[in-house]
A and B are shown apart, each in its own frame.
Chain A
């Protein structure tokens, strides 16, 4: 949907369109009241159809965090819902932090149902996310990786954005289930993150079921 008042030039075009729209209705209504009503219906339907169809495709504004900490420090942001742990993720973190002093922050988005989200009922989702986060940190510690963590926004992209602003990562690792089982992949979280953040982003597929077997 296009915002007709995005700039002065577009607002001016909107004004000209309004002049034409109302002029046509008035002319038709002067001829015949019902003709005016018919022109109003047809024009309004046409305008609404055009308005809903006109959609801008613009690249989002990219966020590029400044490097924080000492020059030899590498900050890695790990974003995962249920899939922190697993050999693939541990290998990635080690590979990405090779030769640096690594600082890892794990963010667990407080995923919520749409109804609970709109009702601002976030406490259970945050408590669940906190539990998953504690388990994740424990697993990483068992793998020899010291990490801190926090519960993030319900929207994974917003959770990443928040962490990018406050943590300033040099790398982002997004851990998901394999394709077909991952809601995040279906929702384009990895693609969206690559568009929005000017930071190297690695997508790690963690198949916990396969690893367990």
Chain B
């Protein structure tokens, strides 16, 4: 048996971790990078329809609920503040702050999603109405799906926080959903600005 094989037989080699970023956080970065590409493809379609194809935006006769979406934007940005508060709390060993922060973030996120669904039901056009409708539903729906995923992560983190998990030293289970949640918020700001306002 060669020296190399012998070393393998005695001790399995340690896992490589030359990266300066924790492997789990790195996984979230790669996931977010793929999400940015996904959103990028939808935005490309949106800009093509609106700018290159010269489609009027929104189609004459149709109106976007700018005010309600603005309130929704406020709700989502506020949820990022509560998320940040939750993590800062557990870093200082404040469990009540963590639980309250995560619960509020979850409730605010849920309010956003329910408001979005309610708006869909009375917006007055459908994905098949025209290109405008298709892109509108695709982009806001894609974002809504991400909010749903974020809420699932937040729900898991919230339940764990009430079960006594996490401490001032060990809180990666809050940090990673937090990064994802802020990313979802940033994407909404882009969607809201480009679709509803500009």
- Which residue numbers of A lie inside 8 Å of B, CB to CB? 3, 5-9, 11-12, 14-15, 18-19, 22, 25-26, 29, 36, 58, 60-61, 63, 65-66, 68, 103, 105, 148, 150, 158, 161, 165-168, 196
Contacts and interface: CB of A to CB of B under 8 A. Distances in A.
28 contacts: A5-B29, A5-B32, A5-B183, A6-B21, A12-B84, A12-B178, A15-B77, A15-B80, A18-B186, A26-B197, A26-B198, A29-B197, A29-B198, A58-B20, A60-B20, A61-B18, A61-B20, A63-B18, A65-B14, A68-B10, A103-B3, A148-B3, A165-B14, A166-B4, A166-B7, A166-B8, A167-B3, A168-B7
B163 interface: no
Interface residues of B, number: 36
User: What are the 6 closest A-B residue pairs judged by CB atoms, nearest first?
Assistant: A8-B178, A11-B182, A165-B13, A12-B84, A22-B193, A11-B179
Contacts, number: 90
A161 B179 CA distance: 30
User: Which has the most chain A C-beta neighbours within 10 Å: B10, B19, B185?
Assistant: B185
A167 B16 contact: no
Contacts of A168: 7, 11
A7 B32 CA distance: 13
Contacts of A167: 3-4, 7
A70 to B, nearest CB: 11
Contact of A161 (B18, B80, B182): B18
B29 A105 contact: no
A134 B47 CA distance: 59
A3 B193 contact: no
B2 interface: yes
Contacts of B16: 161, 165
A105 to B, nearest CB: 7
